[in-house]
Amino acid sequence: MAICTERSIDLVVIGPEAPLIDGLADSLRAGGIAVFGPGAKAAQLEGSKGFTKDMCAAMKIPTAAYARFDSAGSALAAVGRFGLPVVIKADGLAAGKGVIIAQTKDEANAAIRMMFDGHFGKAGAAIVIEEFLNGEEVSFFAICDGTHAIPFGAAQDHKRVGDGDTGPNTGGMGAYSPTKLFTKSIQSVVFRDIIRPTLEYMSRCGVPFTGVLFAGLMLTAEGPKLIEYNTRFGDPECQVLMMRFEGDLAALLYAAATGALASQPPVRLRDDTALTVVLAARGYPDQPQRGGLISIGDVGDARIFHAGTGFDATGALIADGGRVLSVTACATNVADAQGKAYAAVAAIDFPEGFCRSDIGSREMARKH
């Protein structure tokens, strides 16, 4: 607050989820500063899987069948009624890794015990068990000012660590936007059945939602269903959306922060495809190796977003996190965007790093 006052800051945009859930937006608003991001109670949409599922039940928002548990015993006794595969989720924040899709009963039981044994810290003090939804996952974004919401585009993320969607879930190994999966008619359904009821519910609770609603959706045979919410722009979808955005982002976010979205024009996104490939440190998502040297060569017109990087004592660029770089390119179609992004990846020397080699391939295989 002191820094904002000293520097006459007019708008604060809060990026990470933890400060939102800790109430940073509430503190800043109490000091008269406009904030793009929800207060602590509204940020429960991301901070508590159970809160969001209960909201879905109250508002009849389409989502997977679920149950909440606060003890391993009760969860182990009930998991069998969900069938297989089954989804086990830590209720709280787990850096995008607190979701396990169990293929067998033994895997489900092991996941439950692991969460209650503290593998995810406080995030696993309570869990949600859900039915497994069949379909394809898409991320949709809406900018909200507490009353109004406007679409900000869609992307498809790649959560699994390995090619062909294999291995454990991560915070995201790559993404592209747009996707043929997310049509205008689907967007209309999502806005009507998911986004607007969410805003209505939060207003009823006395905590209007201001910021970005990042809806993780499963496109099922019965229509789009909400998997979960993030309450901030998240990697790697943010990179591809911002590469396509045309307009004044600061003006848009300020309008949301000050309740003035109704006067804003629709968001404009380039027709081009943007695709990003995440370079991660070996061992991610469990125990990423820090300290690996990175040298970035000629990447053409691709853009490199630094995520988990730092400098060693000599000033050399090194890995300092799990997901290290997001290598992003734009082109008129997904195949060309993929080619440009991977050409840029090849120009980066990072021996202790790895990436998926198939980001965007599923979209290229679509026939419609």
Q: How confident is the model at residue 229 (pLDDT cuts 50, 70, 90)?
A: very high
Query: Tokens at residue 230, please?
Result: 């993030």
Cα–Cα dist 149/142, whole Å? 6
Q: How confident is the model at residue 193 (pLDDT cuts 50, 70, 90)?
A: very high
pLDDT surpasses 90 at 136: yes
The residues, any chain, with a CB within 8 Å of residue 266's CB and separated by 6 or more, are: 150, 151
The pTM score is 0.93
Cα–Cα dist 214/237, whole Å? 10
Q: What is the mean pLDDT of residues 223-233?
A: 96
Q: How confident is the model at residue 55 (pLDDT cuts 50, 70, 90)?
A: very high
Report which DSSP code applies to 63: B
Cα–Cα dist 166/57, whole Å? 31
pLDDT, tens only, 20-41: 999 999 999 999 999 999 999 9
DSSP, collapsed to helix, strand or coil, labels residue 170 as coil
Q: What's the chain's average pLDDT? A: 95
pLDDT, tens only, 75-95: 999 999 999 999 999 999 887
Helical (H) or strand (E) element with 97: none
CA atoms within 13 A on the CB side of 90: 24
Cis ω for the linkage preceding 16 (within 30 of 0): no
Say what the pLDDT of residue 169 is: 84
Q: What is the mean pLDDT of residues 99-124?
A: 93
pLDDT, tens only, 245-277: 999 999 999 999 999 999 999 999 999 999 999
Given a contact cutoff of 8 angstroms between Cβ atoms, the answer to whether 160 and 138 are in contact is no
pLDDT surpasses 90 at 123: no
pLDDT surpasses 80 at 368: no
